[in-house]
Homo-oligomer: A and B are copies of this chain.
Amino acid sequence: MTEEKTVSSDRVYEGRVLNLRVDTVQLDESKTTRREIVEHRGAVALVPMDADGSVLLVRQFRKAVERVMLEIPAGTLEIGEDPLQCAQRELEEETGYRAANIRQIGGFYPSPGYCTEYIHIFLATGLTPSPRRGDDDEDIEVEVVPFFKALEMIDRGEICDGKSIIGLLTLKSHVA
């Protein structure tokens, strides 16, 4: 298992949510190849569960896939931001609730083949309403769904977002 040493690196784009660079890497003594790498600051996603055992999901249009998606709340880390604080902030911004208890239950790389992003996953309980503070360019609807129904929606492909599937199935294996 060889590490791929960077021979040269070309920053192609610097943006708001992501950067793109192309690395030339050494495969062995005689061979190099190019790796296209999306640089991403990392993100949090959280499963907010209320006292009735329902989860708060968010419905929003996603331009990249040109469709409305039902997901668990999530958001990109600000530079230097603590993932736990980011989770609390995103919960409030996207659902209008605060959580008395919030703890990490997992984490994963969504696309390690070409993207640096790591997503921290949290469980949020003890939910209480807070003054809702939406993000300016997000149009989000909250949907309260019994946990077992959310799991059925995964089976039927109605929830088909990676972090949401992982968050809900991780919680299921903690509960089981």
Chain A residues with a Cβ under 8 A of chain B: 1-4, 12-13, 15-18, 20, 22-23, 25, 27, 31, 33-38, 40, 59-65, 68-69, 71, 74, 106-119, 137, 139, 141, 155, 157, 160-163, 165-166, 169, 173
By a CB distance below 8 angstroms, the chain B residues around A112 are: 62, 64-65, 69, 71, 161
By a CB distance below 8 angstroms, the chain B residues around A15 are: 22, 36
Chain B proximity of A71: nearest CB distance (Å) = 8
Question: Does the CB pair A111–B117 fall under 8 Å?
Answer: yes
* Cα-based distance from A38 to B114 in the complex (angstroms): 11
Which B residue's beta carbon lies closest to that of A23? B63
- What's the number of copies of this chain in the assembled complex? 2
By a CB distance below 8 angstroms, the chain B residues around A40 are: 114
Question: Does the CB pair A18–B35 fall under 8 Å?
Answer: no
By a CB distance below 8 angstroms, the chain B residues around A118 are: 65
Q: Could you jot down 21 A-B contacts, CB within 8 Å?
A: A1-B59, A1-B68, A1-B139, A1-B141, A2-B139, A3-B61, A16-B36, A17-B113, A18-B38, A20-B38, A31-B137, A33-B137, A35-B63, A35-B64, A62-B113, A65-B109, A112-B161, A155-B173, A162-B162, A162-B163, A169-B173
Question: Does the CB pair A27–B161 fall under 8 Å?
Answer: no
Asked if A116 meets B64 with Cβ closer than 8 Å, knowing A108-B161, A108-B165, the reply is: yes
Question: Does the CB pair A36–B12 fall under 8 Å?
Answer: no
By a CB distance below 8 angstroms, the chain B residues around A115 are: 38, 64, 111, 115
Q: Which 7 A-B pairs have the closest CB atoms?
A: A33-B137, A62-B112, A35-B63, A110-B110, A110-B162, A169-B169, A15-B36
Question: Does the CB pair A114–B64 fall under 8 Å?
Answer: yes
